[in-house]
Chains A and B, each alone.
Chain A
Amino acid sequence: MVPPPSHSPPLLDMRGIVKRFPGVLALNGVDLEVRAGEVHVLLGENGAGKSTLTKTIAGVYRPDAGDMRLDGRPVHLRSPRDAQALGISTIYQEFNLAPDMTVADNVFLGREPLRVRALGIVDRGRLIRQTRDVLATLDAQIDPETLVRHLGVAQQQTVEIAKALSLDARLIVMDEPTAALTSREIERLFDTIRHLTQRGVAIVYISHRLDEVKAIGDRATILRDGAYVATVPVASTSIDEMIRLMVGRDLKDKFPKISAAPGDEALRVERLTRKGVLHDVSFSVRRGEILGLAGLVGSRRTETARAIFGADRLDSGRIFLRGIEVNVRTPADAIDNRIALVPEDRKRHGIFPSLPVRENITLSALGQFSRRGLLDVGRERRRAQEFVSSLRVATPDLERWVVYLSGGNQQKVVIAKWLNTNAEVFLFDEPTRGIDVGGKVEVYRLMGELISRGAAIVMISSDLPEILGMSDRILVMREGRVAGAFDRRDATEETILNCALRGAAPVVPS
C-alpha cells in the first residue's frame, strides 16, 4: 500500500475527460491520477460518473475530450483489447466468466497456450499449469479444472483477479468487489489487494461501503454529477467528510430515526421447512415494525422470503396473516394477500428493462386500471407520476425504458410497483445494495413511511450497520435455521456476527 516516490510519472494520468451521451453529459472535465502500488478509491453517488470513467479507462468508451497518459506517454484506447494490451484490467460487479467452462479456460480465454499454432490446438497441460501458477501467487485453493459454475462468488472473483494477473495487469479496476462477499472473504480480498499493491499493481476501487474504503484505500477521488470534486488522502479524511464531498451537503441522518408504535401481529410463519434448504423457520412481525433478517451469505434468508412469497415451494409450515392462516402457493396468491417481495437482484428479478417506467410501476396491479377489459393508460400515467414524484425517481419522463435508469432509481421503481399493490407486509431483500448514500437514505425514509402507515417490514440485509440502524428486532439465520433473535437495544455488530457464525445467542421471545 506504499506509493512509489512521486518523481516518477503516475501510472495513469487522466486530465479533463469529457464524455457525452445523447441527452446527458456523463463526465465534465474529470481528472484522475493513479500511482503504481496504490489503492485509489472512486467515490460518488449513483449517476456521478464512476461507471463511465472506469469504462473510459477500460477502453469501452472513447472520451470526447481530454487526454490519457500511461507512464507519462499519451495513449488512445480504441477498444478494451487496447486497454488490456497496456495492462489495464477491469473486474465488473457482474463477472465476465463463462460458467460452463473450467477455471483454467476462463483465465486464459482468448489467449490459450497453443501446442500447434497453425491448427489452434490448445496445450491443455500448459494451460492448467500456468493457471495453477497464477492461482498460487494469490494463495488461492482453487482447482483449475473446476467448472466456474461450481464455485462460490468469492472464488469466482478470485478467478477474475487471476485472469487480470495473467494479463500482466498493472492497473486493475474493481467495481463493488465486496458486494456479494462475506466478511471473512472481504478480509481475504483485502489481503490479496495488499499483496498486489506491494508488487506495484495499482487498484482503482469503487465502493459504496465507506468503512471498507477507510480500511483499504490510499487516496480517494470524489465525483459528483459528472464533475471532479476532489482527491483526498483516505487516512486523514473522515467518512462524514467523504459523504459531504459526494453529496454536497451534510447527511446527518444516515439512518433517519424511525419508530412507529407496533400494532397487532401482521405476519407469522411457523416451522417453514423445505428439505435441504429451510428448517423449522418461525418468526412473526407486527404492524409498524421492521424485523431485520441478518446472516451470512448462504444462510437462506432469500429462500425464506421467496417461500413466504410463494415463489418457492414449502414442504411444510404455516403462514398467518393478521392471525388468519393463508395458503400462498404462487406470487399471485401473495399479492392477493397483500404481501410484497422486493428481490435481491433487481436486474434479473425486479425490473422489466424494455418496458417504460410507467408500465413497470403498474404491472402488478393492472386490475386497477382496467375498464371493460381495456387499460386506461391516462390513469396509469397519473398513478405512475404520483409515485415518481413521491419517491423522487430521476427519470426524464414516464415512458423512458427502465433499463436506462440508474440502479438506485430502478430500485425505487421496483418499490413503487409494490406500493401500488397496497401491500401490508413487505419483504425487502437487500433493499439498498448497489445504491449510493443519498439514495439509501431515501429508501430508509420510505420504509419509515410505510411502517408509520401500518405496514410490516421484513428486511434482509448483509450490511450490519443497516440492520442495526433500521430494525426494531433482529432475527439471525444460519444455514436455513433461525440462529437467534435480538431486540434492537441488545444487539451489536459483534453479537449478531457471533450468532450468525456460530448460532449461539440468547433467543429473545418474539
Chain B
Amino acid sequence: MPAVIVILAVVFGSLNPNFWSGTNMANVSRQMSILALLSLGQTFAILSGGIDLSVGSLLALVSVVCAQQMLNFGLVEGITAGILAGGLAGLINGLVIAKARVPAFIATLGMLVAARGVALTLSGGLPIAGLPREFLVLGAGYLGPFPIPTMLAVAGFVLAHVILSRTRFGRYVYAMGSNEEAAVLSGINVARHKMMVYVVSGLFAGVAGVVLTARVISGQPTLGEVQELYSIAAVVIGGSRITGGVGGIGRTLMGVLVLGILGNGLNLVQVSSYVQNIVIGIIIVGAVYVDLARERRQ
C-alpha cells in the first residue's frame, strides 16, 4: 500500500509539477484533515465489528451547536459544546447498539437521518453567521508552515494509534471485532466497550465538525453530506477488514492519503470531479478485492 501511494504521487507529480508545491501540499492536507478525523473514529467502529454511518450528519449537528453556543456564550464554550454534541450523539449510538442490541448499521443509519434533522431544526435550515473572527484561525490558520487542521489530524492519528495499539480498550476493540462471543466469555464487558467505541467516533466527528465550522466561519446544517461514506472508504481502502478484527490506524492513514492524493492529483490534471468519483468507486472495490485475494491465497 505505501508503494501505491508513492507511485500515485510520482505519477501525478510528473503530470503536473505543482503537485509538489508547498501551497498545494498545505491545501490538500487542510482539505483532507476533516475526512481524516472522521476516518479515525470510523476505524474504531469498523475494527470493533460495527460501523458508524452517522458521522457525516454529525458534522452538521456539531456545526450548528458549536455556532449557536459560540454566539450565546463565547469562543471556548462554542468549541466545547460542539465537541460534546458529537460525543453525546456517539453515546446515543452506543446505547442503542450495545444495550438495545440494534445492529450498528441500522442504529447509525437512524442517527444519520435524525442528526441532520436536529441540525436543520436548531438552525431553522439557515446558516448561522457572525462567529468571532479569531475562530477562523482554527480552520484557516497556520502553525509555522503547517495548516492547523492538518496538525490536529496528525495529533488525532497519533492519539488514535496509541489508544488502539497500546491500551486495554484498544485491545478489546480488536477482540470484539475478531470474535465477540469469545470476548464475552473472556470477561470483557462488551457492552461498555462498544459504547465507548461510538463515543470515540462521535468525539472525532465533534472535533472535525468544529474545525470545519471554523473554516467556513459559520454554522452550516448542510455540511458533511456523503462524508460518512468516504470515511468508510478510507478505512477499507487502507486494508482494514470491514467485518472487524483486522487493521489499524496506520492502514487508515494510507487510505486517507490515497483518497487525498487521488483527488488532488486528478484535479491538477483537470479531470472533472464527476470522473473522479468514478475512479474512487473503482479504487474502493479494487483495494478490498486485492486484500481479500491476498488473504485467500494464504
Contacts and interface: CB of A to CB of B under 8 A. Distances in A.
A480 to B, nearest CB: 21
A352 B175 CA distance: 6
Contacts of B178: 352-355
A351 interface: yes
Contacts, number: 74
Given A352-B174, A354-B241, A366-B168, 6 more contacts: A311-B185, A348-B179, A352-B183, A354-B174, A366-B171, A374-B162
A349 B245 contact: no
B187 A331 contact: yes
Nearest to A376: B166
A396 interface: no
Contact of A331 (B167, B171, B186): B186
A330 B245 contact: no
A351 B168 contact: no
Interface string B163-194: 00011100100110111011111111100000
Nearest to A365: B187
30 contacts: A309-B185, A331-B184, A332-B188, A332-B189, A341-B185, A348-B179, A349-B182, A349-B185, A351-B179, A352-B174, A352-B178, A352-B182, A354-B177, A354-B245, A354-B246, A359-B171, A363-B171, A363-B186, A363-B188, A364-B186, A367-B168, A370-B168, A374-B162, A374-B166, A374-B167, A375-B171, A377-B166, A404-B298, A417-B186, A421-B187
Interface string A334-367: 1100000101000011111111000100011011
Contacts of B298: 22, 404
Interface of A: 22, 309, 311, 330-332, 334-335, 341, 343, 348-355, 359, 363-364, 366-367, 370, 373-375, 377, 404, 417, 421
A352 B183 CA distance: 8
Nearest to B298: A22
> Closest 3 A-B residue pairs measured CB to CB?
A354-B245, A352-B178, A335-B187
Interface in B222-270: 241, 245-246
Nearest to A362: B171
Interface string B149-167: 0000000000000100011
Given A330-B189, A374-B162, A375-B167, A355 B181 contact: no
B139 to A, nearest CB: 32
A204 to B, nearest CB: 26
Contacts of A348: 179, 181-182
A349 B171 contact: no
A335 B187 CA distance: 7
Contacts of A352: 174-175, 178-179, 182-183, 245
B99 to A, nearest CB: 15
